[in-house]
Amino acid sequence: MGCMRVAALSILATLTLAWLPSNKRVTSSNGTDLFAPSDGKIRGVNLGTQFVFEPWIAMQAWSEIGCEGEQSEYDCVAKLGQAAANDAFAEHWSSWITKDDIDEMQSYGLNTIRIPVGYWMKEDLIYSDSEYFPQGGYDYLEQLCGWASDAGLYIIIDLHGAPGAQVAKNAFTGQFADTPGFYVDFQYARALEFLEWMATNIHTKHNFRNVGMLEVVNEPVQNPDTTASLRSRYYPDAFNTIRGVERELDIDRENYLHIQMMDSVWGAGDPHEHLTDDYYAAYDNHRYIKWDAGVAVSKENYIKTSCNDKVAANWPAIIGEWSLSVPDDVQESPEWEPYSNQDFYKKWFAAQVQTYEKQQGWIFWTWKTQLGEYRWSYRGMDCWNLWRSCANCDRWGGRGSNPNRSQLGVERRGVQMSG
């Protein structure tokens, strides 16, 4: 720990607010408590493609950056060259999620954002002779967290792209690696350095004051044998690293960051297995029924499954990703296409929300897309008036009632639940 961190502590320690919203009150700069209507439950959206670009979400924006035909940020930067890539991605970072987006989220009654980031945001971790990633994203992250804090949103920062890639051939890691290369000690060391840096920024920078949770890796391989060292070494070391920052900064235990890992139900093993201190541990699960081969594809079965789903084994757990998307081979069929089947999608949305709020809450994937339909886009659901009439389960004002805008952000009607 250098002198600069200790000096920052003396100025900014009182700004630290790391918690779950059920533990402490979080308000906007004008005093609005977005968690009052939810009794502290998380209702949020992911900011997909802001700092870790997934081309399928926004092909037009990907093309405008100059990345058309490339599979990941790594590939695109290698193609464009560093200087051109930095300029192009800076334009994207400044325009994909803006302050207007944050204000719109708040107006809908949302109270949380989850921000996927890559390890390369700490630029001295990048191997300059063999890795290619855009530079300059950190300033945009800090600005974005400032807007969200002003709006009263709770913030989760998620290490979405891990060194070496935690899964193969997936752009959400920032690269399209042939094999997952994360599960070795030297890559863990790079990730730990990222977590140390991010925890220090969160606890010493005013704009990060509403960041209460740091997720140490997104969606590891769903194979407990492959992830054995993740559980035995990386998770305990991640705790020790983050808590070491907090002890050196003399952070009060009540203001520690929640440290988030994927829940046992995810399939990468029990994250708690080797932890000796799980104070302020939190858990994440992602529930995409479209990819669950064990769920028969029918509307009735989807709603029944969602109403009775076991989505977590650890506590506290957040369903950190989910959507209304259905299997690719049926999604455009007359029975499933989104516009003539809105009644089903309203009910399915409500069924999922009701189940996920039996846990700590939910975060929809994602805020917006360029797909031209709403099943992956919370903002798109509003454009099609979908969630205005479905998000009001009994706990949100009662079937048939119309909660006022101060409760939910907009007027909504109740939905008859089935299943």
Residues with active-site annotation: 219, 321
Using a 10 angstrom Cβ sphere, with 0-12 exposed, 13-18 middle and 19 or more buried, the burial of residue 289 is buried
Structure token digits, residue 100: 């207007």
* Orientation of helix 99-107 relative to helix 137-151, angle to 10°: 30
Question: What is the number of other CB atoms lying within 10 angstroms of the CB of residue 225?
Answer: 7
Structure token digits, residue 143: 């600005």
Q: Which own/partner contact pairs does 398-405 have at CB distance under 8 Å and 24+ positions apart? A: 403/37
- Residue with token string 């464009």: 80
Torsion sign over Cα 214, 318, 51, 408: negative
Structure token digits, residue 94: 């400044």
Question: What is the number of other CB atoms lying within 10 angstroms of the CB of residue 152?
Answer: 21
Pairing of strands 112-118, 317-322: unpaired
